[in-house]
Amino acid sequence: MTTSILINALGQAIFESVGQALLIYVALQVLVQLFPDITSKYKYDANYLGLVIICCWFMANLLKIYLQNTAVANYMALTHGKGTILGVTHVPSLLQQAESIITQYAKYIVGLYMIGLILQGIKLTGGFVHIHHIRKQKNLQTDASWTNKAQEMCKNLKIVKAVSLYFSENISIPLTIGYLKPIIIFPLSLINNLDSNQVEAILMHELSHIKRHDYLLNILQCIMETILCFNPFVWLISKTIRLEREHCCDDMVIDADYNNFTYSKALLIIAQQNSQHYALAMASAGDKKYPLLNRIKRLNTMETKDSLPKFNLLIIITIAAIGTLLAWGIPQYSEAKTAAKKAHKIIFYLKKATLPVTTNAHISRKRKSIVLCVDTATAKLLTDTTKKKFKIIIEDDKGDKKEYNSLSEMPESDKKNFLEENPSFDFKFDDSIRFASAANFKMTPEFKKQMVEIKMNAMKMQKQFNSSQWKKQVKDMQIQAEKMSKQFNSPEWKKQIEDMKIQAEKMSKQYTNSPEFRKQVEDMKEQAKNMSEQYVNSPDFKKQMAEIRLQAARMSKQFNSEEWKKQQKDIKEQAEEISKQFNSPEWKKQMEDMQKNIQDEVNKNLKNMQSDSTKSAN
């Protein structure tokens, strides 16, 4: 049941997260359209904050939905075991219909999400492995003059961390890797294609990434993208974040009094020879030509063109659509919420329910049944929004009625008779809100399926307990228990126990408590002490132990020496050669020939002996 609840909660959270991301995305685009002159830093901060809000919103919403569904499931399991039956007669609202559809296809939605999550996780892990391989390569080179220049630039940018500068032949674009110990790897091929001013400008760009902590923020961004891999608006926001990140570093290069034309030309040269893609590293020029062209135009104060079309018309259409949905959905949701509080004709029965009434619970002393009905309301008209508690009305044979709001208000005599007639009434309810939630949950196919599974498992267990094999096992266990009980209660067993107790007492009296045994123990302790003083603590014994340790060290040194290892290897090789020789066909053939010759010689001698004996007899 817990797994089913988690799957349903995750499916619903995924569906709602798309709408949440849409709202954040539209808000960000509206912000850009209303304030077109804001700097890239504020655009970057706003988009990154929006991404964090979407991720936290998704996780918090998932936890909230899971806890709510778990609470409802536990409550329904509790009430289901007490014979409670709930019936709902109102028409489901639009929100409930959407939740029902999501619940129906939740396992497919979650399955697709898990596939995307695994693929994104593999991609993220591959990026970490690639970056680790680049960082640990052995052919990294250093240059003293450029290292000093980089340290000077770090002081100007007030970078406290120790930044290392390396040159490599295995990369095609400059990279910044690491957060605690950042390094900048510069391709050697660019040194011949760029002048010193261009190299300094590119180096300033990479140091700007370190100053802004972009490496760590990019890793967190990739993790959030992996969690929200199903959301298209998250990918659009992430694309904007990466573009504005590069714009921020470009602005820092221009603010450091580097020529924008020289810097633009350097970016173009880097992009022309770039043939690699680095997911986690900070690169001066990405693998997309169109955003790079926009960056170059932006640096030269030209009119830029976004990689996506203008959002003026899209924003207007989106806002109108959201407004229409809110105008239609809020009344539906409010009506469903109010109706839930008023419990649309929710009638719940305990034990033998008879004729339901509309406002109160009538219990007659002549019948042993109870009908409870909480405040009802029509499906469309709600005139009274106050919460009302149910009442217990007891009517006697004369028609006199007594009303009580809870069991605690009832006299002991009425309370005792009431509980005797209605043994299942061992709880009290304040209002009907929880019944509306419970009834809605009970209408779902998942809950019905769970109830069917519980019944099937109960039937299987009952069938197993009623099977002949189980009964035979129980009977055998009873027989074994009776045999063991009979054996333990037999006179022979009791006599053995008594004899063991007597023997134990004799041994305790003879050895443990006797003066002779104590004297022997004292003598043994004294002898042990004398031996310790004579041998262990004596100079001769210590000298012998030192000589033994020295001999052991010599033997260990000898056994670990190269000569000993070589001798062992030679002996092993000779043994293998001898074994190989003994197992060779030639050796086996020689042995067979020898055995045959010996056998022939023996047979010949026996034959001669028999011939001589025959002659002697004659």
Give the pLDDT confidence of 466-494 residue by residue, as tens digits: 888 888 888 888 898 888 888 888 888 88
Nearest-angstrom CA–CA distance, 306 and 294? 7
Confidence of residue 374 (pLDDT cuts 50, 70, 90): very low
- The pLDDT assigned to 95 comes to 58
Confidence of residue 288 (pLDDT cuts 50, 70, 90): low
- The pLDDT assigned to 236 comes to 94
Q: Where are the beta strands (DSSP E) in 133-252?
A: 164-168, 175-177, 183-187
Query: In the block, which residue shows the tokens 């996506």?
Result: 308
Nearest-angstrom CA–CA distance, 285 and 187? 13
614 has a pLDDT exceeding 50: yes
Strand partners, 164: 183
The residue among 177, 14, 231, 216 whose CA lies nearest residue 102 is 14
Q: Where are the domains of the chain?
A: 2-104+312-340, 114-299, 347-431, 562-617
Q: What radius of gyration do the chain's Cα atoms show?
A: 45
Dihedrals φ, ψ of 113, to 5°?
-65, -40
424 has a pLDDT exceeding 70: no
Average pLDDT over residues 426-435: 43
At residue 442's C-alpha, the angle toward residues 438 and 443, to 5°, is 120
Per the confidence metrics, is the pTM higher than 0.75? no
Question: Parallel, antiparallel, or unpaired: how do β-strands 282-283 and 183-187 relate?
Answer: unpaired
Confidence of residue 318 (pLDDT cuts 50, 70, 90): low
Please state which of the ranges 266-275, 312-321, 573-582 shows the lowest mean pLDDT. 312-321
90 has a pLDDT exceeding 50: no
333 has a pLDDT exceeding 60: no
Question: Parallel, antiparallel, or unpaired: how do β-strands 175-177 and 183-187 relate?
Answer: antiparallel
Torsion of CA 295, 296, 299, 305, to 10 degrees: -60
Residue with more model confidence, 383 or 340: 340
Please state which of the ranges 151-160, 382-391, 441-450 shows the lowest mean pLDDT. 382-391
358 has a pLDDT exceeding 70: no
Torsion of CA 303, 309, 311, 316, to 10 degrees: 140
Average pLDDT over residues 261-280: 74
Confidence of residue 28 (pLDDT cuts 50, 70, 90): very high
Find the DSSP H helices in 489-533: 491-507, 515-531
Residue with more model confidence, 394 or 351: 394
350 has a pLDDT exceeding 60: no
Average pLDDT over residues 264-292: 65
Nearest-angstrom CA–CA distance, 228 and 216? 19
Residues in the chain: 618
550 has a pLDDT exceeding 60: yes
Beta-carbon contacts of 396 under 8 Å, excluding residues fewer than 6 positions away, are: 365
- The pLDDT assigned to 480 comes to 87
59 has a pLDDT exceeding 90: yes
Confidence of residue 539 (pLDDT cuts 50, 70, 90): confident
Do the beta carbons of residue 58 and residue 427 sit within 8 Å? no
- The pLDDT assigned to 558 comes to 84
Instruction: Report the sign of the C-alpha dihedral through residues 342, 347, 351, 354, in that order.
Output: positive
Q: What percentage of the chain carries pLDDT values higher than 90?
A: 16
- The pLDDT assigned to 281 comes to 54
536 has a pLDDT exceeding 60: yes
Structure tokens at 125: 């892990």
Question: Parallel, antiparallel, or unpaired: how do β-strands 401-404 and 392-395 relate?
Answer: antiparallel
Confidence of residue 456 (pLDDT cuts 50, 70, 90): confident
345 has a pLDDT exceeding 70: no
- Highest mean pLDDT: which range of 127-141, 228-242, 584-598: 228-242
- Burial classification of residue 149, based on how many CB atoms lie within 10 Å of its CB (0-12 exposed, 13-18 middle, 19 or more buried): middle
- The pLDDT assigned to 229 comes to 93
Beta-carbon contacts of 444 under 8 Å, excluding residues fewer than 6 positions away, are: 100, 103
Give me the chain's average pLDDT, please: 75
10 has a pLDDT exceeding 70: yes
Do the beta carbons of residue 33 and residue 22 sit within 8 Å? no
Confidence of residue 173 (pLDDT cuts 50, 70, 90): confident
Confidence of residue 188 (pLDDT cuts 50, 70, 90): confident
Q: What percentage of the chain carries pLDDT values higher than 70?
A: 71
Structure tokens at 289: 């030509």
The residue among 320, 295, 316 whose CA lies nearest residue 307 is 295
50 has a pLDDT exceeding 90: yes
- The pLDDT assigned to 89 comes to 40
- CB contact burial 384-413 (16+ within 10 A = b; e otherwise): eeeeeebebbbeeeeeeeeebeeeeebeee
- Highest mean pLDDT: which range of 40-49, 72-81, 184-193, 329-338: 40-49
Please state which of the ranges 167-176, 337-346, 465-474, 501-510 shows the lowest mean pLDDT. 337-346
Nearest-angstrom CA–CA distance, 153 and 159? 9
- The pLDDT assigned to 415 comes to 76
- CB contact burial 436-454 (16+ within 10 A = b; e otherwise): bbbbbbbebebbeebeeee
The residue among 382, 376, 338, 342 whose CA lies nearest residue 357 is 376
Nearest-angstrom CA–CA distance, 238 and 128? 19
Average pLDDT over residues 110-139: 87
184 has a pLDDT exceeding 70: yes
Residue with more model confidence, 314 or 7: 7
Please state which of the ranges 87-96, 181-190, 478-487 shows the lowest mean pLDDT. 87-96
Nearest-angstrom CA–CA distance, 311 and 454? 53
Confidence of residue 443 (pLDDT cuts 50, 70, 90): low
The residue among 254, 246, 240 whose CA lies nearest residue 286 is 246
Distance (Å) of CA 175 to CA 137, 266, 279, 505, 559: 14, 15, 11, 86, 53
Do the beta carbons of residue 71 and residue 19 sit within 8 Å? no
Do the beta carbons of residue 300 and residue 261 sit within 8 Å? yes
- Highest mean pLDDT: which range of 233-247, 370-384, 451-465, 477-491: 233-247
Average pLDDT over residues 201-227: 92
The HSE-up count of residue 178 (CA atoms within 13 Å, CB side) is 16
Average pLDDT over residues 575-599: 86
